[in-house]
Amino acid sequence: TDTDTDTDTDTDTDTDTDADIDVIVSDNISPENLKVGDSIGDFEVALIEYSSDDINMELTSNIEVQGILNGYYDDMYEENMFYFTPTNYSFSQKIVCDFPSAQLIIESPSGAVIGDIPEKMLQSLLDGKTYEVKAMITGFSITAKDESEKFQSVYLEEINYLSANTLEYDEVLTGFDNEMLFNVDEQMHVDYSKYSLVIVPMQESINVGKLMPEVIDISGDDNAGLMNFSVFGKLYNVRIKYTKNANDENEVPEEIFIADEIENTCMFIQALMPTDFSYIEVIAFYQFESGMEEIRFTLDDARDPSAYPIMTIDAY
Residue-wise pLDDT tens for the chain (316 aa)? 444 444 444 444 444 433 332 333 357 899 999 999 999 989 999 999 999 889 999 999 999 998 888 888 888 778 899 999 998 898 988 899 888 887 888 989 998 999 988 776 787 788 777 788 889 999 999 999 876 678 899 999 988 776 554 434 457 888 999 999 999 999 999 999 889 999 999 999 999 999 999 999 988 787 788 999 999 999 988 999 999 888 888 888 888 989 888 999 999 999 999 888 999 999 999 877 666 788 999 999 999 999 999 999 987 6
Q: How far is 17 from 132, CA to CA, in rounded Å? A: 44
The string of DSSP codes covering 75-96 is TTTTEEEEEEEESS---SSEEE
Q: How far is 298 from 249, CA to CA, in rounded Å? A: 19
Contact, 253 vs 243, CB < 8 A?
yes
| DSSP run (H or E) holding 140 | strand 131-145
